[in-house]
Amino acid sequence: MHRNLSSSALIEEAVRRGEGVLSNQGAFVVRTGKYTGRSPYDKFTVLDADSEKNVWWGPINQKMQPEQAQKLYERISSYLENQDYFVQDCCVGNSDKHKLKIRVHSEFAWHSVFARNMFLNPGESELQDFTPDYNIYHVPGYKADPAVDGTRSEAGVVIDFGAKRIMICGTEYAGEVKKSVFTLMNYLLPPKGVMGMHCSANMAKNGETAVFFGLSGTGKTTLSADPERSLIGDDEHGWDEEGVFNFEGGCYAKGIRLSAKDEPEIFQTTQTFGTLLENIAIDPNTREINLDSDEHTENTRISYDISQIPNVCPEGKGGHPKHIVMLTCDAFGVLPPISKLTKDQVMYHFINGYTARVAGTERGVKEPSAVFSACFGAPFMPRPPSVYAKLLGEKIEKHKVQCWLVNTGWSGGPYGVGSRLKISWTRALLNTALSGEMENAEFIKEPFFDLMIPKEAAGVPEEILDPKRAWKDPAAYDEKAKELLKLFKDNYEGNVHLR
């Protein structure tokens, strides 16, 4: 067992063991085999007295009996005893009150680097007397047998709150570790009055905090890495009585078609030793990477320590949000680039959690399609969505937060007809909104979702702001808007129990 090796030592081990290769700039490039994204239907929660009454049971949170989970743990432990493996002691949560200690057991050296990148690394003094609250076992080489292990396939993600452990087997995709720990935090914190959020967060120079909700592919990581604002974190946060705090110590950005021009802060991390590049194409001779290639998957990933972002908030926390931005990638081309939301509309969009499932975020997804995911992160919310919605509503009201809906998807027509909104336009709109300039703008109400749209904004064509004007055929827009509105209403009315 190799305990708490540095990233440099781990990468040396990973190279020696043939787990990946170094790029010509020093990043470590790995392949994850057939699992290039999460496997949400291979996820299980162990049944116990507490989880039975508090977990949102269903296709996302499937039940596993404790006896079955214990036997799986014993088989995984026996598997690890016969080989070298790696252990990292880490923490989750930049909060003195709500920090969780975890011990990550990894079969592969590079997965231990991932743990060091993504979670908080304790100091030497803390490591001397480190007792984990939870243990995480990531063992891709153990292929589950559904008939024996109670899984659906060779892959399994099993969260056992009673035994205080998470078991991940049969899949090399590192994101399963990150999201399982996120799920854990989202179960433990709400009873303490702390809101777990699938969001990024950053801070203005005057200290005002902004939160960006959104599923993978909507732009959370890209838009929160703003050179004019300090990055608190790119994906997972808590909101307690003091403000917003990052769960993590790193970022896990999408790499496909990453642009040095539009995303310079993230792009530079791909040129750095210690960064992990998952499933990114690389020339076998020159070792130059190709960020535009989807040779292995659309869901190429970049894992890096958050300190690599130049303008980062070192404390990993900020005050109560002044603004909340709900990001959606609308494949229908119906929703406006930005609109101001009332509190009721915030709750409506939070419960619906609409976006397009972008190619590559889950196995088998080849092109964008409409999807609704409660709380903008249903796969990571083990409690009923109403728990998180109630907390969010209370905090928005108490702290008088201004909320916005931002579409980073298509304009001028649906996917295949229209075009993706430019990042530069979205950044310009966000800068205007977060600075407070947009609050005094003149707004018009669109007729389908009753969204308030600014009539003009610096740096963005007026015809883009009103999505109907961006379509060549207004009647076609109306039909598509009615289609999307019906999907919203059907989803909301069908999920009355979530509210």
Annotated catalytic residue within 103, 220, 229, 322: 220
Tell me, yes or no, if 419 is annotated catalytic: no
Contacts of 432 (CB under 8 A, 6+ apart): 438, 441, 457, 458
Write down the pTM of the prediction: 0.93
> How many separate domains does the chain show?
2
Annotated catalytic residue within 111, 179, 349, 357: 179
> Ranked by mean pLDDT, which of 41-45, 262-266, 415-419 comes out on top?
41-45
Tell me, yes or no, if 216 is annotated catalytic: yes
**Looking at residue 364, which CATH number applies to its domain?**
3.90.228.20
- Same domain? For 332 and 438 the reply is yes
Residue 104, in any domain of the structure: yes
Tell me, yes or no, if 328 is annotated catalytic: no
Contact 383, 54 (CB under 8 A): yes
Annotated catalytic residue within 183, 209, 216, 373: 216
Q: Spell out the alpha helix ranges (H) of 381-420.
A: 385-399
**Identity at 161, one-letter amino acid code:** F
* Domain end marker among 167, 192, 217: 192
Collapse the DSSP code of 378 into the 3-class scheme (helix H, G, I; strand E, B; otherwise coil) and give the result.
helix
Which range of residues forms the domain containing residue 64?
Answer: 2-18+40-192
Span 386-439, pLDDT tens digits:
999 999 999 999 999 999 999 999 999 998 899 999 999 999 999 999 999 998
**Looking at residue 89, which CATH number applies to its domain?**
3.40.449.10
- Same domain? For 221 and 165 the reply is no
Annotated catalytic residue within 111, 198, 323, 357: 198
Question: E strands, 93-217, where?
Answer: 100-106, 134-139, 156-160, 165-169, 195-203, 209-213
Tell me, yes or no, if 301 is annotated catalytic: yes
Tell me, yes or no, if 111 is annotated catalytic: no
How many H-runs (helices) and E-runs (strands) does the chain carry? 15, 30
* Domain end marker among 192, 208, 238: 192
CA distance 455 to 347: 25
Tell me, yes or no, if 75 is annotated catalytic: no
Residue 304, in any domain of the structure: no
Annotated catalytic residue within 226, 234, 235, 240: 235
- Same domain? For 347 and 374 the reply is yes
Tell me, yes or no, if 198 is annotated catalytic: yes
Q: Say if strands 43-46 and 156-160 run parallel, antiparallel, or are unpaired.
A: parallel
Annotated catalytic residue within 23, 38, 222, 427: 38
CA distance 313 to 212: 16
Question: E strands, 222-314, where?
Answer: 230-233, 236-239, 244-246, 250-254, 276-278, 281-282, 289-290, 301-305
In this prediction, residues 452-462 reach a mean pLDDT of 93
Tell me, yes or no, if 116 is annotated catalytic: no
Is pLDDT of 71 > 70? yes
Q: What is the mean pLDDT of the chain?
A: 94
Q: C-alpha dihedral over 448, 452, 457, 460, to 10 degrees? A: -20
Span 111-150, pLDDT tens digits:
999 999 999 999 999 999 999 999 999 999 999 999 999 9
Annotated catalytic residue within 301, 323, 357, 395: 301
Q: Spell out the alpha helix ranges (H) of 412-499.
A: 423-434, 462-465, 467-470, 474-494
CA distance 43 to 56: 13
CA distance 90 to 101: 6
